[in-house]
């Protein structure tokens, strides 16, 4: 075991896989010499060579499209979109080709690749550096979408994503890149894609969240504990495939559900989760399932983030309202 | 002066760089004359000093924790001041994010620039500046807007040009190529300016392209293309004057590659020592655009360097005052988040805002 933060855990997963599987390459903007603007690929070029870890020209559509070519011919590219907002120029390649190639060729070709994207707000960044695009990708048939919330999960989920035969969007909650440290096994292990995790058991209410919001919910849990409320916390981990069984079973136990996402509300992941809850636990519900999400607004520049980002106090407020419904 | 004849002898395909004065501020084109008079040149030098001071102070404010991420302009200021001298009121300026001097020339207030980089959208409102677009963070995306603006100028029968900026790294994006092609096919009067500062964050130009220079990219789209010394304000002014005139008269786009160097970090979050040598930085420091004009002026006895310190001190006061306007801007409130999305706020947004206000009221102001 070794103490790591998320950045180190993600780096470690790539390092292990690069070592083990020569078909893997890592590329994107500034990932080589610089080791990425967040230093997530630091040291990988020196260790594994310029042919396997390298800087590409500045073009996201180019990065994604070329990765498809590599992937269908037996390589396994891990590509980086420098920030969430810069995955949008790659949208055409991701939605129109990467997600569909298996289907279009009736299984003759498949696209084993990982698209890593630092995402989310709360870091006082410029415009287009704080987006939560998971709904776009989760909405797209043919993609898998995962989001870790701890270093342990970050490593295991990334290894699973790299070993997955299909394209995986791997969203990295940049706000907690260095905020959480944890003991992580030094060897290889997988966290299965499509499985949520029950982080803590509780009787009164189920809260479902993922990524950087997990930590905020945990802070809220401390606040409501004083009021005698016990929370069952679920880390979704996979936006898609969604873990219907775990969600259904959990809400059947508590009868109450709150979904917390930083992503804006309409047509977002929280809406999907509430549908699943209605389908799986309707008769056990003691209150209408509730979502606490980002507003349906552009995520503001730093001075406005204090309004937009969801605080533990707001989560606690919603928990209390639901429990007292 | 740079005219259509000069253009013939500065073909991008021949890799020829248009330069008027060398790093020592000595003319390399014999008998060259500026279309600017001495007074205007001295004023241009003052403007260079002003933006350099403002830019360096912006970095300092960021270091003091009074501003967020900021992209320094250091070393590239001559391009912006020269563009400012040429752009007219009815011309459009379409920036990337590293053209401080050009924004100010268009009437953007320094306090607005500071406000924006302090993290407030109101800094993009440009109360008194018209025909200048806000910072475009997604690289090269703004260039297509420029081609559309150019089409609109033609359509509306206006004799004006669009000045559109992009970096060397930006020439790799698809939008760059689409924008040049559209402007050319549509005969749009756009002056495309590539600020080739040798780097896209850590990635050097050589990893961005195998073209022998960036100006040649215009040739493929059927447009005139010129490579200029971006640290030579006379050369930049000559070429911008020609390019504007050419674009407006012929209703054609034109491409300028301004060869320069990003002397500072990519942004205040970047550490260039990871990817380039101090020898390289020192080589380019010798070609500094401000120093170069200073040497020319001094030789011509148009400038007394000993007055500079006092002048800069007065600039610093002005700049501090502008910063204070930004720093004391009204508190960011919830309407700043919900505003400006639609002409009329949909009920669902009103409901979300209300929910939030209910929480704030119940929490005693805790957000
Ligand atoms: C579409 C997009 N991808 C990535 C980025 C992140 N990014 C910001 S600036 C930059 C490098 C830009 O280089 P260049 O075009 O040469 O302009 P310079 O910064 O040198 O002025 C990158 C990759 C971005 N802003 N937009
Ligand atoms: Mg550059």
Q: Hey, whose CA ends up nearest to atom 17 of ligand 1?
A: B167
How many angstroms away from the CA of B235 is the closest CA of chain A?
29
Q: Which two tokens stand for residue B250?
A: 């012929």
> B98: CA distance to ligand 1 center in Å?
10
CB contact under 8 A, B172 and A308: no
Cβ of residue A61 closer than 8 Å to a chain B Cβ: yes
For residue B167, the 8-state DSSP code is E
With the most atoms of ligand 1 within 8 angstroms of its CB, the residue from B200, B258, B259, B270 to mutate is: B200
Q: What is the pLDDT of residue A66?
A: 98
Q: Is the CB of B80 under 6 A from ligand 1?
A: no
Assign A284 a pLDDT band (cuts: 50, 70, 90): very high
Q: What is the pLDDT of residue B366?
A: 87
Ligand sitting nearest the alpha carbon of B166:
1
Is residue A263 within 8 A of residue A132, CB to CB? The reply is yes
- Tell me the torsion sign for CA atoms A195, A199, A201, A206: negative
Q: Is the CB of B264 under 6 A from ligand 1?
A: no
Cβ of residue B169 closer than 8 Å to a chain A Cβ: yes
Nearest-by-CA chain B residue for A88: B138
> B287: CA distance to ligand 2 center in Å?
17
Alpha-carbon gap, residue B15 to A191, rounded angstroms: 55
Chain A interface, best mutation among B62, B68, B115, by max A CB count within 10 A: B68
Question: Measuring CA to CA, which residue among A322, A284, A145, A317 is closest to residue A217?
Answer: A317
Q: Is the CB of B207 under 6 A from ligand 1?
A: no
Task: Identify all chain A residues contacting B333, using CB atoms and an 8 Å cutoff.
Answer: 307
Is residue B203 within 8 A of residue A29, CB to CB? The reply is yes
Segment B105-111 long-range contacts (CB within 8 Å, at least 24 positions apart): B105/B47, B105/B80, B105/B81, B106/B131, B106/B132, B107/B132, B108/B132, B109/B322, B110/B54, B110/B319, B110/B322, B110/B323, B111/B322, B111/B323, B111/B325, B111/B326
CB contact under 8 A, B121 and A302: no
Task: Identify all chain B residues contacting A305, using CB atoms and an 8 Å cutoff.
Answer: 119
Alpha-carbon gap, residue B241 to A98, rounded angstroms: 47
Alpha-carbon gap, residue A158 to A193, rounded angstroms: 9
A–B CB contacts, 8 A cutoff, strictly below:
121
Tens digit of each residue's pLDDT (9 = 90 or more) over B193-222 = 999 999 999 999 999 999 999 999 999 999
CB contact under 8 A, B68 and A124: yes
Active-site entry in A48, A97, A110, A129: A129
Is residue B327 within 8 A of residue B111, CB to CB? The reply is no
Residues of chain B short of pLDDT 70, as ranges, are none
- The torsion angles phi and psi of B251, rounded to 5 degrees, stand at 50, 55
The SS3 assignment for A157 reads: helix
The SS3 assignment for A182 reads: strand
Question: What residues of B act catalytically?
Answer: 262, 266, 275
Q: Is the CB of B265 under 6 A from ligand 1?
A: no
CB contact under 8 A, B202 and A300: no
Cβ of residue A59 closer than 8 Å to a chain B Cβ: yes
Q: Per-residue pLDDT averaged across A59-64, rounded?
A: 98
Q: How many CA atoms lie within 13 A of B362 on its CB side?
A: 13
Alpha-carbon gap, residue A23 to A17, rounded angstroms: 10
The SS3 assignment for A221 reads: helix
CB contact under 8 A, A57 and B201: no
Is-above-0.95 flag for pTM?
yes
For B367, which of A297, A303, A307 is closest by C-beta distance?
A307
For A308, which of B333, B337, B363 is closest by C-beta distance?
B337
Q: Is the CB of B241 under 6 A from ligand 1?
A: no
**Cα–Cα distance list, B114 to A184, B61, B129, B262 (Å):** 43, 9, 15, 21
Cis upstream peptide for B276 (omega within 30°): no
Nearest-by-CA chain A residue for B65: A124
Q: Compute how many other C-beta atoms are within 10 angstroms of the C-beta atom of residue B8.
A: 8
Tens digit of each residue's pLDDT (9 = 90 or more) over B125-147 = 999 999 999 999 999 999 999 99
Domains and CATH numbers, chain A: 2-184 (3.40.50.970), 197-323 (3.40.50.920)
Beta-sheet pairing, A76-80 with B224-229: unpaired
> B169: CA distance to ligand 2 center in Å?
5
Cβ of residue A88 closer than 8 Å to a chain B Cβ: yes
For residue A127, the 8-state DSSP code is T
* Phi and psi based region of residue A191 (left: phi greater than 0; alpha: psi -120 to 50; beta: remaining): beta
Cβ of residue A124 closer than 8 Å to a chain B Cβ: yes
Assign A26 a pLDDT band (cuts: 50, 70, 90): very high
For residue B227, the 8-state DSSP code is E
Is residue B58 within 8 A of residue B73, CB to CB? The reply is no
Q: Which two tokens stand for residue A309?
A: 């980002």
Q: Is the ipTM of this complex over 0.95?
A: yes
């Amino acid at each position: 075991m070794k103490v790591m933060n998320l950045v180190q855990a993600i780096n470690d997963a790539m390092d292990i896989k690069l070592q083990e599987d020569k078909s893997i390459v890592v590329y994107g903007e500034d990932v080589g010499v610089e080791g990425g603007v967040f230093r997530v690929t630091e040291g990988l070029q020196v260790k594994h060579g310029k042919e396997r870890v390298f800087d590409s020209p500045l073009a996201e559509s180019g990065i994604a499209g070329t990765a498809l070519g590599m992937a269908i011919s037996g390589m396994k590219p891990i590509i980086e979109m420098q920030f969430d907002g810069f995955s949008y120029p790659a949208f055409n390649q991701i939605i129109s080709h990467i997600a569909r190639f298996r289907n279009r060729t009736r299984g003759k070709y498949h696209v084993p690749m990982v698209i890593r994207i630092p995402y989310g707000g709360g870091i006082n960044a410029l415009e287009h550096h704080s987006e939560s695009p998971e709904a776009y990708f989760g909405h797209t048939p043919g993609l898998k979408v995962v989001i870790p919330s701890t270093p342990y999960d970050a490593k295991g989920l990334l290894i699973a994503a790299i070993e997955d035969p299909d394209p995986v969007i791997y969203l990295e909650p940049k706000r907690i890149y260095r905020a959480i440290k944890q003991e992580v096994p030094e060897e290889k292990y997988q966290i299965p894609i499509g499985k949520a995790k029950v982080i803590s058991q509780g009787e009164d209410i189920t809260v479902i969240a993922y990524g950087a919001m997990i930590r905020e919910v945990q802070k809220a849990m401390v606040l409501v504990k004083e009021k005698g409320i016990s929370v069952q916390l679920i880390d979704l981990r996979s936006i898609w495939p969604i873990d219907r069984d775990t969600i259904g079973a959990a809400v059947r136990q508590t009868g109450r559900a709150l979904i917390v996402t930083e992503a804006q509300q309409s047509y977002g992941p929280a809406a999907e989760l509430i549908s699943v809850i209605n389908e799986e636990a309707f008769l056990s519900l003691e209150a209408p399932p509730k979502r606490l999400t980002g507003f349906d607004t552009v995520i503001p520049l730093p001075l406005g983030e204090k309004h937009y980002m969801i605080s533990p106090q707001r989560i606690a407020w919603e928990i209390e309202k639901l429990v007292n419904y | 002066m740079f005219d259509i004849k000069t253009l013939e002898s500065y073909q991008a395909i021949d890799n020829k760089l248009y330069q008027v004065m060398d790093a020592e501020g000595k003319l390399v084109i014999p008998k060259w004359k500026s279309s600017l008079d001495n007074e205007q040149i001295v004023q241009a030098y003052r403007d260079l000093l002003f933006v350099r001071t403002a830019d360096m102070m912006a970095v300092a404010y960021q270091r003091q924790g009074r501003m967020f991420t900021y992209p320094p302009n250091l070393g590239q200021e001559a391009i912006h001041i020269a563009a400012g001298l040429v752009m007219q009121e009815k011309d459009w300026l379409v920036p990337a994010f590293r053209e401080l001097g050009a924004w100010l020339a268009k009437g953007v207030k320094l306090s607005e620039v500071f406000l924006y980089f302090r993290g407030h959208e109101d800094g993009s409102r440009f109360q008194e500046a018209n025909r200048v677009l806000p910072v475009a963070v997604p690289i090269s995306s703004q260039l297509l807007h420029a081609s559309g603006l150019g089409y609109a100028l033609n359509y509306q029968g206006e004799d004006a040009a669009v000045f559109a900026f992009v970096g060397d790294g930006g020439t790799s994006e698809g939008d760059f190529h689409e924008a040049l092609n559209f402007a050319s096919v549509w005969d749009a009067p756009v002056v495309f300016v590539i600020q080739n500062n040798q780097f896209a964050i850590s990635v050097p130009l050589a990893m961005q392209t195998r073209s022998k220079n960036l100006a040649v990219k215009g040739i493929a789209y059927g447009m005139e293309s010129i490579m200029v010394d971006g640290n030579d304000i006379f050369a930049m002014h000559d070429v911008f004057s020609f390019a504007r005139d050419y674009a407006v008269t012929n209703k054609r786009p034109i491409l300028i590659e301004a060869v320069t160097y990003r002397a500072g970090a990519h942004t205040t979050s970047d550490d260039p020592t990871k990817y380039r040598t101090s020898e390289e930085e020192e080589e380019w420091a010798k070609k500094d655009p401000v120093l170069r004009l200073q040497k020319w002026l001094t030789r011509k006895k148009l400038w007394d360097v000993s007055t500079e310190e006092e002048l800069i001190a007065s600039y610093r006061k002005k700049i501090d005052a502008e910063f204070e306007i930004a720093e004391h801007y009204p508190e960011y409130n919830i309407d700043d988040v919900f505003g400006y999305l639609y002409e009329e706020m949909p009920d669902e947004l009103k409901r979300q805002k209300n929910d939030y206000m209910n929480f704030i009221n119940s929490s005693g102001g805790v957000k």
